[in-house]
């Protein structure tokens, strides 16, 4: 994949289908296939339940750590070069997970996969921010998020077939194949537009933070809070289901229903953002999540928890792609990759910290308090977004005024 200097046609996203969306579905399938077996494989290798849970968290930690150098790597190598590099690294990590004879080696493999995910996501996001015309940006980003969710949704089913023949390693085998397929598709297919030379001296994450600390501390705070609110539902729903006596299979079904609704809302969310701006999507998304989390302690039956799961799925679905879109809006063209790495770090850091916060609260207080606390986090995120996001983005966009987008956000 190479950097484009000219936007794709405003009225079509079809040029992105094979270079971006199909590889993203493939990579999502790999992540979804491996997700259910990470814990099981660690237990098979002799890990305790606590250590197995920590092993799974290493993927998220690797992604957070990978965000730190990812901007400089993408700026130096370009999107195509960094995609090839992170595919090779990701395949090495998956292969290590597949063949690991001990828990430490499995943990190392999971961490490497997380590092690869960070560079992959940034390369995709940077390319779309550079090549998609503004009037189609939100739809392009929302479809990208929807493609990853579609793959993650389908992955466990393909993984289950492989597990029948290979045991728990089957999930990693599927991940190995899909990672290789995704990397090959993105590296081999040319994309429209010219090729821009790599930036000769990329700026470090610290340098980007110094230059743009105001926007990273304002809108970035909203991104962090949204990341925490989104990721926490993967912990709250199963834990609360267990507490009120709902079986694991039923809890998984409820979660799957919510995940399916996220896919349904992917494109409509992007259309709303392109038509009315980012604010009418970002704030309701967090507000709906806040209400759903606060309603969790009120549920005592499968049906009631199912309603909450549906509401959470809708809340997360209508915000699909909003963080990537806002990041593309505010990223300065001269250091786009480096800035987007810092921007992704805010969201990924929140997504990593959210479940940890629930774990800490649940160990010291009732689980209901943890659910309400995350609801408060989501509500605070909605307030931050409402204050710092522009109220309206015209569609089709009018010529940009002298005042920059960042200046309007900070004002």
Per-residue pLDDT for 53 more than 80?
A: no
pLDDT of residue 287: 97
Per-residue pLDDT for 400 more than 60?
A: no
Local structure of 203: helix, strand or coil? coil
Q: What is the pLDDT of residues 142-180, one digit of tens each?
A: 999 999 989 988 888 888 889 888 888 999 999 999 999
Of 393, 282, 340, the closest CA to residue 128 belongs to 340
How far apart (Å, rounded) are the C-alpha atoms in residues 159 and 174?
A: 6
pLDDT band at 11, cuts 50/70/90? low
pLDDT of residue 192: 45
pLDDT of residue 150: 92
Q: Annotate 262-328 with DSSP letters as a single string.
A: HHHTHHHHHHHHHHH-SHHHHHHHHHHHHHHHHHGGG--SHHHHHHHHHHHHHHHHHTTTHHHHHHH
pLDDT of residue 292: 97
Per-residue pLDDT for 237 more than 90?
A: no
CATH number for the domain whose boundaries are 1-202: 1.20.1250.20
pLDDT band at 253, cuts 50/70/90? confident
> CATH class for domain 204-411?
mainly alpha
pLDDT of residue 227: 95
What spatial distance separates the first Cα and last Cα of the chain, rounded to whole Å?
37
How far apart (Å, rounded) are the C-alpha atoms in residues 363 and 359?
A: 6
How far apart (Å, rounded) are the C-alpha atoms in residues 383 and 282?
A: 10
Per-residue pLDDT for 229 more than 90?
A: yes
Geometric angle at alpha carbon 361, from 357 and 363, rounded to 5° = 120
Helices 137-166, 169-188: crossing angle, 10 deg rounding: 140
Helix, strand, coil proportions of the chain in percent (round to 5)? 80, 0, 20
Per-residue pLDDT for 201 more than 80?
A: no
pLDDT of residue 5: 41
How far apart (Å, rounded) are the C-alpha atoms in residues 209 and 206?
A: 5
How far apart (Å, rounded) are the C-alpha atoms in residues 37 and 328?
A: 34
Geometric angle at alpha carbon 287, from 285 and 290, rounded to 5° = 110
The residues of the chain that CATH labels 1.20.1250.20 are 1-202, 204-411
In this structure, the chain runs to a length of: 411
The residue ranking higher by pLDDT, 106 or 239, is 106
**Mean pLDDT for the stretch of residues 340-348:** 95
pLDDT of residue 189: 59
| Cβ contacts of 354-362, under 8 Å, gap ≥ 24 | 354/227, 354/228, 354/229, 354/230, 354/231, 354/232, 354/235, 355/57, 355/231, 355/232, 355/234, 355/235, 356/57, 357/228, 357/232, 358/232, 358/235, 358/236, 358/239, 359/235, 362/239
The residue ranking higher by pLDDT, 296 or 6, is 296
Other C-beta atoms within 10 Å of 101: how many?
A: 8
How far apart (Å, rounded) are the C-alpha atoms in residues 272 and 261?
A: 17
CB 343 within 8 A of CB 209: no
Strand partners, 132: 8
pLDDT of residue 6: 42
**Mean pLDDT for the stretch of residues 132-143:** 88
Q: Annotate 332-394 with DSSP letters as a single string.
A: -GGGHHHHHHHHHHHHHHHHHHHHHHHHHHHHHS-HHHHHHHHHHHHHHHHHHHHHHS-S---
Q: What is the pLDDT of residues 272-305, one digit of tens each?
A: 998 888 999 999 999 999 999 999 999 999 999 9
**Mean pLDDT for the stretch of residues 336-362:** 91
């Amino acid at each position: 994949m190479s950097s484009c200097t000219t936007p794709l046609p405003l009225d079509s996203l079809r040029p992105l289908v094979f270079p971006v969306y199909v590889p993203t579905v493939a990579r999502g399938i790999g992540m979804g296939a491996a997700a259910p077996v990470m814990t099981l494989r660690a237990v098979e290798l002799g890990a305790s339940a606590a250590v197995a849970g920590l092993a799974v968290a290493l993927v998220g930690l690797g992604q957070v750590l990978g965000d730190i150098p990812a901007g400089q790597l993408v700026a130096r190598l370009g999107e195509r070069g960094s995609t090839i590099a992170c595919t090779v690294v990701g395949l090495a990590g998956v292969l290590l997970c597949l063949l690991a004879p001990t828990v430490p080696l499995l943990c190392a493999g999971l961490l490497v996969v997380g590092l690869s995910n960070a560079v992959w996501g940034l390369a995709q996001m940077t390319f779309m921010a550079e090549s998609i015309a503004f009037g189609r940006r939100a739809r392009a980003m929302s479809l990208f998020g929807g493609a990853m969710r579609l793959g993650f949704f389908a992955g466990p089913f393909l993984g289950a077939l492989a597990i029948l023949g290979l045991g728990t390693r089957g999930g990693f085998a599927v991940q190995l194949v899909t990672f290789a397929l995704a990397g090959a598709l993105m590296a081999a297919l040319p994309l429209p537009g010219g090729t821009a030379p790599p930036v000769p001296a990329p700026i470090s994450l610290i340098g980007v933070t110094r230059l743009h600390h105001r926007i990273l501390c304002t809108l970035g705070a909203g991104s962090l809070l949204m990341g925490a609110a989104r990721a926490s539902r993967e912990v709250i729903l199963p834990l609360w289901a267990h507490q009120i006596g709902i079986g694991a299979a039923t809890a998984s079904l409820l979660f799957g229903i919510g995940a399916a609704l996220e896919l349904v809302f992917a494109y409509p969310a992007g259309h709303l953002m392109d038509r009315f701006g980012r604010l009418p999507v970002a704030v309701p998304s967090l507000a709906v999540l806040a209400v759903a989390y606060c309603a969790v302690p009120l549920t005592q039956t499968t049906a009631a928890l199912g309603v909450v799961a549906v509401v959470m799925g809708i809340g997360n679905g209508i915000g699909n792609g909003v963080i990537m879109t806002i990041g593309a809006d505010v990223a300065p063209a001269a250091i786009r990759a480096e800035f987007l790495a810092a921007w992704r770090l805010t969201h990924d850091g929140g997504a990593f910290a959210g479940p940890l916060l629930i774990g800490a609260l649940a160990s010291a207080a009732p689980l209901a308090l943890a659910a309400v606390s995350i609801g408060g986090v989501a509500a605070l995120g909605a307030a931050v977004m409402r204050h710092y996001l522009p109220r309206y983005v015209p569609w089709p966009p009018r010529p940009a005024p002298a005042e920059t987008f960042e200046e309007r956000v900070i004002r």
